[in-house]
Structures are given as structure tokens and as C-alpha cells.
Structure 1
Amino acid sequence: MSTVETKGRNVGGTECSWCKAIRGGTGIAVLSLLITKPIDISRFQTSLHKLQNSHPILRSKLHTSSSSTDTTFSFLTSHTPFIKIESHNINVTSNILAKNKNDTVSISPLQQIMEHELNRNTWQDRTGIDTDMFVASIYAMPDEKTWVVVMRLHVAACDRTTAVSLLRELLVLMKDEEKEENVVVVEDVVPLAIEDLVPGRKGKKHIWARGLDVLSYSVNSFRFTNLKFNDTKNARFSQVVRMQLNQTDTKRVLDGCKQSRIKLCGAITAAGLMAAHSNKTNSSKKYGIITLTDCRSTLDPPLSNHNFGFYHAAILNNHVIKGGESLWELAKRTYGAFANSKNNDKHFTDMADMNFLMSKAIENPGLTSSLRTSIMSVFEDTVVDDDGMMQQEVGVEDYMGCASVHGLGPSMGIFDTIRDGRLDCVCVYPAPLHAREQMQELINKMKAILIEGGKTYEEY
């Protein structure tokens, strides 16, 4: 790409952490759609070009430069859209699906294609080569009646809010009655990094306080309890399990959250901790939970959901589980710890600490147990998707979205959505560090705990 055609900026601290982590496989965002109507590839290509025109980060390339002492990253943004769609025929798709034919846990073709894309790392060891931040593919399915459309993005360019907005804008563009004014146009340059938009002095911390907090995070991480590791030697990749609740059970859980004055992430966290601790009788264990919060509305100046990029911050809390806790008791305790940390601006003050520790863990794998930063990561706010009618018009029968975690990250990342009143969680984990059967059993326990808790929340 000619420098005459591009603008650019250096990546920020959080973005840089993702650029380092992705080389090991953490930070590949994938949005997969199961389509039941024939795809007009030309229209799809035009829609993607319009998305790139509206969002500079989608028409950027990642430039990597290495010296004897350091590796630096920057975004190079083209004036014109350039994405090209990769088309895969039935033979290619069949070969991918055949890899899972002997698995004891059955998974859908949509999920198999998604897992395949989660592990296509086009950003690995690409020093000196500018790589696209946004890639799109179409897989023809063996039934000859459906297709899987996949959009794969570097997480430095795509947090969960970006992925949700991207899907909604794409649906508008793909509709027959789509009009130009329906697409939000933002500035022609990539927005600033999150560190440059932290308001006032909220991100400031005395050097001694920073040193003590880094030490505290490091020491505590050695005391965290992990899920049992299945295979610590073989190369890792990301796999997915799915947890879905019907409308009745979902409503009960949401009513329980409302009654308890907490968000859904509190209930999901509690269910996950209870499920993980269920086999550890008569013992107290400490677990780490990472909660990701979207900072857009509190930045200076504030950003909207149409500002694509990575603008989430992480808060790490540890919780001691003794066993015998009820769902709502534990949910209120864990959510309260997160809310208190956020009220004290720890997502801003500890941002540099978390990025530093992430970089050090990548450089020194021995700092964490099998590169696990926590037992689970959750999002503060649940995505609410009521776009079912629009999705059907375009032919979207189902979709799944998440980001890979096998290089560095939690034992399980939870991506939760309320879709037409039903809870749908995509749960991603590192394999073979954890086995699919192991994680499916854990998810089944979480689901049972949430359902039972939803039936009994009135008692609390």
C-alpha cells in the first residue's frame, strides 16, 4: 500500500497488548452468520465497501516494525475500501466439517466453521508485511441450501460493541430497501486510542501505587484456582461451547437480577464459579474473574457505538468460594465487588497495569499457570438483540460471535446475548488445555444453576 494513499497513527497501549497477544492466538474476533438465502456476492461486496467507507479502522492495515530492542505497531488507513471476499466451495467446507466427525460432543456446522476461522491467524509472525484488520469469507455448505458468512477481525480494531454495530449496519446495507442515509458516517481517520481519551486525571496513579498494584496482581495470580488442565503440552487452539436458555427461564433469571439489583453478568459469574467449584468439597478456593466494560460513553470526548475499535477496559476481581453459596447470594457479592471497583475508576487507573502484566505474561509464560489470567471473563452489559425480523429478511437463520483466547486469557470467555428474549451465550476456551467434554459439562452445570436460581429468586 502506497504511503501517499494512507493516513495512520501508532497503536495505543491496550491495542498494543492485543497486537502482541494475537501472535499466540488470543485476539481474533469472528462473527459467523448462517444464511438460508442465495447470496448476491456483488451486493455483499458493495455492502462491505460501504462499511469500510464509514469506519476507517475497517479499511486499515496493521504495520509491524521490529528493531533489536522492541516491536512497534501502527494503523495505516487507506482512503478507499479494498476488502475482497474469500469464497470456499463445498469440498473445502466438507473437509473442515470432517475434522469433527469423531467428536463425542456434537456441534453444528456453523460452530465448526466459526472454530476454523478463530484459528486462522493471518497476523502471526508478519513482521514487515502490512496485514488487513478485516477479512470476509463465504463457505458453501454441503446441503447446497445454506451458506456461512464469516467476518474475521483483529481485536485491536474490534471489541464486542464494534462487532454488534457491524452486524446491525451490515443487515441494513443488505436489505433491498437500504438507503444511503441509513449508514452512519464517522470521521475519515481512526479515532484515538482509549488511553488518549480517558477523562481528566482518572487514569493517573502515583508511581508507588502503580508498583504496589502490579505486585498485588502478580502475587494474587499465583493463588488463583484454575479449571483442571487436560493437556498442557500440545499446541493450543480455540474451541466453543454454547449455552442457550428458553424465554421462560431467561425471563426468570432477568427478573432475579432485577430483584437483586444487579446486572446479568453477576448471575453468569456466580453460576460459573459455582459450577467450577462443585467438585471441590470442604475447601475454600480463590478464583479470578475479569469483567470487561465498554468505556465509550465515559471518555473525553464521548464516543458512540458507531466509533469502531477497541474501547473496553478490564477489571480483575478475586473471589473466595467455600461451597454452599446460593446463586443470588454469590451473584450480589461478585457484582458488588465489580461495581465498587468501577465506581473507584479502577478500569481507568489500572489500565496501564493490566496492559503491562499482559505483555509480561506473553514474554514470560511462567508468570501464569498455562497462560490463564482468570477462570472466566464476562462483559458488564449484555447485548440485547431484537433484530430477528430484519435478520430473517436477509436470510440470517443463526449467528455466533466471539474472540479467541488460546494464547493468553481466561479458561472461559463468555459472550452473552439476549436474542428475542432468549439467553444465548457463546463460551470460548483454549483446547486441548481444556477438553470439549469438560467444558460442555461445566456449561451444563452453569445452565442448571441459572435455571434453578431463576425459579427460586423470590426467596432472596
Structure 2
Amino acid sequence: MSNLNQPQSETKVRPVGGTENSWCRAVPGGTGITVLGILLSKPPNISNLQNALHKLQISHPILRAKLHFNTSTTTFSYIIPPNPHIQIQPFDFQSTAEILRTVSETDPSRSLSSLHLILEHEMTRNDWSMTVPESDSGTDVFFASSYALDDGAIVMVMRLHTSACDRAAAVALLRELLSLMVGEKREKVELDSDGEIGLGIEEYIPNGKANKPIWSRGVNMLGYSLNSFRLANMDFEDIDSPRISRIVRLKLDQDHTSRILEGCKSRGIELCGVLSAAALIAARSFKALPNGQWEKYMVVTLIDCRSILQPVLSNNHLGFYHSAILNSHDLSGGEGLWELAKRTYNSFANSKKNEKHFSDMADVNFLMCKAIENPGLTPSSSLRTSIVSVFEEPVFDNFDDEKQEGIALKDYMGCASVHGVGPSIAIFDTIRNGCLDCTCVYPSPLHSREQMEKLVGEMKKILVESLEI
């Protein structure tokens, strides 16, 4: 076991795995920029914060990695320097005010929080937008910035390449940082015995789980491809303009959240089924189609595989260890929320039971890369692969008041960009102190903020009204 206070003595290099490679291909186009933002009512000690980030880079080698592209082999690899090197980029009040003005000018009638607008801004900061990095040493996968607000508050943002940080890793990273900021004794962090960067998810799949006959793989690939041409989408508002990711937030109070979770438990389903069902019903309702007219929608469900890999990985093992399951669903109008939620969840659960999160992993990665290379294979060249993406399990966070006061924490959000290849709406759900809080990300101006606020508002209405039946 390496000493966390002692960085490694030499630079390490590891080729990216198959799933990591698909994200390396996706991020230059705008999908897979992970952002974590925390709003503090008073400035932290920047020196202490810088030290905390260095500790994270020492304990998690992937955070000090640089992503390198080899032009001769057209392959990516991680270069891991021996020492932590992240530096916080500060933005003073004037710089922050100009950024907020620029981000909000397209929606002058809407009052969005500074944290909200800064996260939208950070999702446009794509240091990986060039296929070939400017430096032969590669491009960092981890950046940090601080934004000074006019009331003395500070927004701290961590921005990461998704190949190195999936949602579970982002949650673990945020919790570790907050614990360091309040001066708690840090929990033991599990590392590889030699302290090296972990391997790609494919190297940890249990033996035989990813096996699939060639003919079966071909049939599945054909099925996915043909099915995509029959999928319904939300109306696209602007298919030509350059895209960025925007956010709409969906919140429910403690009572509504508790009753929805109880409804899930009594029906043997998870929250992801309810959220995907609400999104499908809301999306179809905007089309004013007659009942009985069928449409097919795609739902992508993301699974954190750490607990089912071999060996089992801890929750704070950073990297990308999620897998995706794709399920299509036919809607004819008139579906009730709980009926559709049970159908969507059972479809996902059956696919997972049949190990499709492992056996279809290579196929899904291949299709993702093909869509990136050939946008014309998607409707209106929109790069939309599904109507919605959800996570199998929500994040449960009970950050108590005492902790919050210790670091002056007022709010925090986390999500990833989707304006390249991806869904029309990606839902990052958290149960925060008993209340549902969803950060819903969408590609703009392919979809407008007005359109997506209306969709999310309808989803909330559907969720609340389902509790009155």
C-alpha cells in the first residue's frame, strides 16, 4: 500500500480502455464534461483548498493524469505524473460578473442562480475540444476554478473529463473535498497495492460475463441500428447552430419525495423507472397525438458497476465504471405514471438480469463512436441517441447543518454535458436531506430553455398528481 502523503517517483503511462476510449471520442464534441459546483457564503482559505486538491490528486492518481493522443496510432493514453499539480484558476468579481452576464443574456427574462449559470459556463470550457492536444505531454483531466460573487460568496467548481470520473466518482470526490474542507479525519482510501492508476472497466468484468457469440453480436448490432430509425424524439428547435449544455432543475419537497419512494418500494421498482416514465409521458404529451397512435422512445439507464466487478471496487475508486442499458418503449397515450414506471423498470431489470450491461458494452461503445463519426445516422443529424438517460440508483446525501456551517456551504450541484452525442435530457438525481433534487441537462439550442422548462414542469406535475390517485 502506497503512502498517500508520498507521491510516486516516476511518470506512469496506461492506454485507455474501450469504454474510456468512447468518452475520449465523445468529449471533444461536447458530451462528457463533468462539473461539480459548490456555493460558499464566504471565501475559503485558498491555500488550504489548494492543499486539499493536491491531497486528492495524491490519493487518486487518475486525477493527476494527462490525456495524450498519439497521432500515429490514433489512440489515447493516460500519462500520470508523479506529483500533484492542479492550480485553482481564480475569477475576481468583475470577471465573474461578465461571465454571468454573457451566460444569462440569451435568457434575460429568467432569474437563475449564480451557481446554475456558472455550471452552464463551465460545461462550455472544453480543454479537450482539440483532437490533438497542443502539448505532447497531454491535457489535464482535472481543473478547478473559483468565482467571486458580489455578495462576498464564492462558487468553487471542479471540472473533469468523464473518462476519468463517472457520476459515482464525482460524488465520492465531492464528499472527500467537503470533508477535507471541514477538517474531518479522512477515511482510508483504497488504492491498488502499487499505488498506480486503476484499469479500465473491461479489465474488471467477471470472467465470461461479457462473452457473446459473433452471430448474436451481429444480430444485436443490427437490431440497435434499425431500431434507432423508428425512435420518436422531442421536436428540435434549432438543428444548425453550435450547441452547448444547459440545465433545468427539478425539485420536490420532503413529503412528495417520501411518498414517491414509498410508491416505488411497494411496487418493487426503483426511482429511475418513475423518472424515465414521467419524462416519456411529458414528452409525448407535447405532441398532441390522439390516443392509440403509437410512438417508440429510447431510455438509457446507467449502472454503477463497482460492486459487481471482479475484484469489487470501492465507492471511492475513481474512474469510469458505469455501463449503459438501452431499452425502447412503445407509448400510445393514456399511460399512467406507475403503470409505465413498472414497465420501464422491469424492462431494464430484465436486461440487467441477462447481463446485457456487460455483454452489450462493446456494442454500445461502438454505436456511440459511429454516431459521433456519422451524425447523419441520427434524426436531423442531431446526435440524439435517446429521449432520456437516468441512473439506476439516486445519490442519497444528508450533509448536515453543522457541516454546512463549518464551511459556509449554501448549495451544490453536479452533472455532465450532453451537447455532443447523447439524450435530449439527462437526469442527475439526488435525494438531498429527504428531498428529490434533479439536475436535468439538455443540448441547447437544439432544445430551448423554454421547451425544457416546460418539459420538466410537466414531469413535476405528473409526479405530484400521481400521489393523489
TM bin, normalised by shorter chain, reads over 0.9
Q: CA deviation at 1:367?
A: 1.1
In 1, the alpha carbon distance for the partners of 2:24 and 2:330 equals 33
| Residues 1:66 and 2:74 are matched in the alignment | no
Q: CA deviation at 1:259?
A: 1.3
Q: CA deviation at 1:332?
A: 0.3
Which residue number in structure 2 is paired with residue 75 of structure 1? 78
* Aligned ranges 1:17-416 → 2 under 5 Å: 17-67=22-72, 71-99=74-102, 100-101=104-105, 102-128=107-133, 129=135, 130-143=138-151, 145-176=152-183, 178-179=184-185, 181-187=186-192, 188-280=195-287, 281-282=289-290, 283-369=293-379, 370-389=382-401, 390-416=403-429
C-alpha contact (below 8 Å) 1:105/1:437 kept by paired residues? no
In 1, the alpha carbon distance for the partners of 2:315 and 2:468 equals 35
Q: CA deviation at 1:454?
A: 2.4
In 2, the alpha carbon distance for the partners of 1:104 and 1:254 equals 35
Secondary structure of 1:428's aligned partner: strand
* Aligned counterpart for 1:446 among listed residues 451, 456, 459: 459
Structure 1, unaligned stretches of length 5 or more? none
Q: CA deviation at 1:37?
A: 2.3
* Aligned counterpart for 1:10 among listed residues 15, 21, 36: 15
Q: CA deviation at 1:185?
A: 4.7
C-alpha contact (below 8 Å) 1:162/1:305 kept by paired residues? yes
Q: CA deviation at 1:142?
A: 2.0
- Superposed CA deviations along residues 122-152 of structure 1, whole A, max 9, x for unmatched, are 0111514311111000000122x21100000
| TM norm structure 1 | 0.95
Q: CA deviation at 1:174?
A: 0.9
Partner letter of residue 93 of structure 2? I
Secondary structure of 1:33's aligned partner: strand
- Superposed CA deviations along residues 263-289 of structure 1, whole A, max 9, x for unmatched, are 000110110011001133222110000
Count of residues paired in the alignment = 449
Q: CA deviation at 1:103?
A: 2.9
C-alpha contact (below 8 Å) 2:145/2:158 kept by paired residues? yes
- Superposed CA deviations along residues 30-85 of structure 1, whole A, max 9, x for unmatched, are 00111112210000001001111110100111111123xx5200011122111100
Partner letter of residue 136 of structure 1? A
C-alpha contact (below 8 Å) 2:44/2:407 kept by paired residues? no
C-alpha contact (below 8 Å) 1:291/1:314 kept by paired residues? yes
Secondary structure of 2:229's aligned partner: helix
C-alpha contact (below 8 Å) 2:251/2:438 kept by paired residues? yes
Partner letter of residue 119 of structure 1? T
- Superposed CA deviations along residues 224-244 of structure 1, whole A, max 9, x for unmatched, are 101100000010110000000
Cα distance change, pair 185–279 in 1 and its aligned pair in 2 (3 A): closer
In 2, the alpha carbon distance for the partners of 1:89 and 1:63 equals 32
In 1, the alpha carbon distance for the partners of 2:445 and 2:178 equals 36
In 1, the alpha carbon distance for the partners of 2:117 and 2:146 equals 14
In 2, the alpha carbon distance for the partners of 1:211 and 1:104 equals 51
C-alpha contact (below 8 Å) 2:36/2:159 kept by paired residues? yes
Q: CA deviation at 1:4?
A: 8.0
Which residue number in structure 1 is paired with residue 4 of structure 2? none
C-alpha contact (below 8 Å) 1:410/1:429 kept by paired residues? yes
C-alpha contact (below 8 Å) 1:55/1:185 kept by paired residues? no
- Superposed CA deviations along residues 320-368 of structure 1, whole A, max 9, x for unmatched, are 0111111100000000000000000000000000011011111111111
C-alpha contact (below 8 Å) 2:9/2:82 kept by paired residues? no
C-alpha contact (below 8 Å) 2:190/2:317 kept by paired residues? no
In 2, the alpha carbon distance for the partners of 1:126 and 1:43 equals 35
In 1, the alpha carbon distance for the partners of 2:358 and 2:246 equals 31
Identity of matched residues, %: 55
Partner letter of residue 66 of structure 1? T
Secondary structure of 2:422's aligned partner: coil
Q: CA deviation at 1:260?
A: 1.1
Q: CA deviation at 1:26?
A: 0.5
- Superposed CA deviations along residues 195-214 of structure 1, whole A, max 9, x for unmatched, are 11110111011111111111
In 1, the alpha carbon distance for the partners of 2:297 and 2:410 equals 37
C-alpha contact (below 8 Å) 1:292/1:377 kept by paired residues? yes
Q: CA deviation at 1:163?
A: 0.6
Partner letter of residue 149 of structure 2? M
C-alpha contact (below 8 Å) 2:26/2:421 kept by paired residues? yes
- Superposed CA deviations along residues 159-192 of structure 1, whole A, max 9, x for unmatched, are 010011001111111113x33x535252321111
RMSD: 1.3
| TM norm structure 2 | 0.94
Secondary structure of 2:239's aligned partner: coil
In 2, the alpha carbon distance for the partners of 1:216 and 1:4 equals 50
In 1, the alpha carbon distance for the partners of 2:462 and 2:148 equals 38
Secondary structure of 1:323's aligned partner: coil
Structure 2, unaligned stretches of length 5 or more? 1-7
In 1, the alpha carbon distance for the partners of 2:265 and 2:9 equals 54
- Superposed CA deviations along residues 310-329 of structure 1, whole A, max 9, x for unmatched, are 00000000000111111100
Partner letter of residue 235 of structure 1? P
In 2, the alpha carbon distance for the partners of 1:257 and 1:393 equals 35
Partner letter of residue 455 of structure 1? E
C-alpha contact (below 8 Å) 1:30/1:118 kept by paired residues? yes
